[in-house]
Amino acid sequence: MQLGVNLPIGDIGTGPAAMRDYAQAAEGLGFSYVLSPDHVLGKNPAAPTNGARVGNTATPYHDPFVLFGFLSGCTQTLGFVVGVLILAQRQAALVAKQAACLDELSGGRFRLGVGVGWNEIEFQGLNENFRNRGKRSEEQVRYMQALWANPHTTFNGEFHKLDDGGINPRPKSGRVPIWFGGHAEATFRRAAQYGDGFMPLAYPAGDAALAAFEKLRGMIRAAGRKERDVGIEVWTSPGTGNEDDWRKEIAFWKKAGVTHVTTHTLYTSPNHKRIAGTSVAEHLAAITRYHAAVKDLL
């Protein structure tokens, strides 16, 4: 089981030194990968939302391909994960090209998490259709996988067409790992049919998570694939509990067949709590303590 950590960009700053130093510290501590999210645009935080969930510009987000391209030159073994790229607001062939280049430059250390998104203003600003984003992103994945696998491909889909074209460079393995984030029924199906992994964040350690994992595994078998072909990632928090609590949770996830755990110091949900501090030192202290507590269980 791999243990990763988020990059707390909103707290520690966006400059190159902050990004480099935090990533190198995570690598030195023994974390397997760093995770960063994706948002291109946000709403003016002073604008009224009328109670709707609207992402704004108050929190900074680096473009993940630029960020990880930079960090790949600053690290040796650390992996990079987008958690998650809002695929349907981007051009699929361009994402395929960017991912292939990052795979090449990082030595195969990149994992592409994808999701359908929720912040409609981003689709508006990028001139993409918010209403068909789920169906379109599913085809995008198949299109990208064809571009990665073949020097030249012909693709005739509902949204994408290509006549004997291709990208260069391509991933040496012929594939960039794609992990699906979300909890909708369609997300389970897409992960089972096309994914290298599934990133559900709504489940605390318990029966609901076990039921979701078994549902996914049934769909994987029904798709004619092997369960081991699709990993599972969950997020944990050093912002709540103590060492004994963290060890019990890690042991639960390992027994449940989880392959990747991200230690997240910012993310909050009913089963996550961010750390109390915001400084670099406080974030590093939290992940250092967490890693020391659970590393022998991985």
Domain layout of the chain by residue ranges:
2-297
Residue 217: which pLDDT band, with cuts at 50, 70 and 90? very high
The model carries a pTM of 0.97
- Helices 280-294, 16-29: axis angle to 10 degrees equals 20
Q: Which amino acid, 224? A: G
Residues 6+ apart with CB under 8 A from 66: none
Q: Which amino acid, 91? A: Q
- pLDDT score for 202: 87
Give tens-digit pLDDT for 126-169.
Answer: 999 999 999 999 999 999 999 999 999 999 999 999 999 999 99
The β-bridge partners of 180 are 114, 198
Q: How many residues are recorded in the chain?
A: 298
Residues 6+ apart with CB under 8 A from 144: 92, 93, 95, 96, 99, 176, 178
Give tens-digit pLDDT for 53-110.
Answer: 899 999 999 999 999 999 999 999 999 999 999 999 999 999 999 999 999 999 999 9
The burial of 137, by beta-carbon neighbours within 10 Å (0-12 exposed, 13-18 middle, 19 or more buried), is given as buried
Long-range contacts of 41-48 (CB under 8 A, 24+ apart): 41/119, 41/121, 41/122, 41/125, 41/126, 42/119, 42/121, 42/122, 43/119, 43/121
Is the CB of residue 120 less than 8 Å from the CB of residue 130? Answer: yes
Can you tell me the distance from the alpha carbon of 54 to that of 122, in angstroms, rounded to the nearest whole number? Answer: 10
Which residue blocks in 43-150 are alpha helix, DSSP H?
A: 64-72, 92-106, 120-125, 133-149
Q: For residue 281, what are its two tokens?
A: 């030192």
Give tens-digit pLDDT for 19-50.
Answer: 999 999 999 999 999 999 999 999 999 999 98
CATH among 3.40.1190.20, 1.20.120.1460, 3.20.20.30, 2.130.10.30 for 2-297: 3.20.20.30
